[in-house]
Amino acid sequence: LPGSYEVKSNGKTTIIESIDSDGTIFLKKNNHLIYEDIPKILSLDQKNHSFILERETSSNYNELYQFYQQYYKGIKVEGGSFLVKFDCEQNEMIYISPHVYGLLDFDVKPTISAATALKKHIGISNQIKVEDVSLIISNKIEDRSRLVYDVILKNTTLPHIQIDTNSGELLPQQNN
């Protein structure tokens, strides 16, 4: 998105001041941008992509930082998010720093159940305990998005694993 960019919101036009090399989008003063406009600016399909406010932090300079987590068809996208810096005194957004995944286009229904996947890789063990299993979209393996079971284990040397929900494959661990 080089140069300026216009977004219609509440009958007003917002102009993007600039886009930094890291993707941070700086907004002009009096930008009138509202939260609902952000997916449009990020060129995301609003039917399938959503964001949920996960946390916010205030600064001593009357600024508010809001961190939003990305979801695709209701499933959390690992690493997908954006940060908004908000000027509380002027009541407007200053910048949006996105790290989102926009080229997602697949079914989010697993073909293998979590129980089947866990049994295949953990078996029946009295030692290893499953602490948590969640369905997420991971982008860590082979630079492609896939639906996985994100599993947290107890009493094992490998406390965190991911299992592909379609193949049942145990995915290799990545250094974060």
Tell me the one-letter amino acid at 76.
K
CA dihedral 70, 73, 78, 81 (to 10 degrees): -10
Q: Give pLDDT, residue 35.
A: 82
| Of 175, 36, 39, 174, residue with least CA distance to 101 | 39
Q: Tell me the H-state helices in 108-165.
A: 114-122
What band does 3 get if pLDDT is binned at 50, 70 and 90?
very low
- The model carries a pTM of 0.84
Kindly report, residue by residue over 105-163, the tens digit of the pLDDT: 989 999 999 999 988 887 766 678 889 999 999 987 777 899 999 999 888 787 889 99
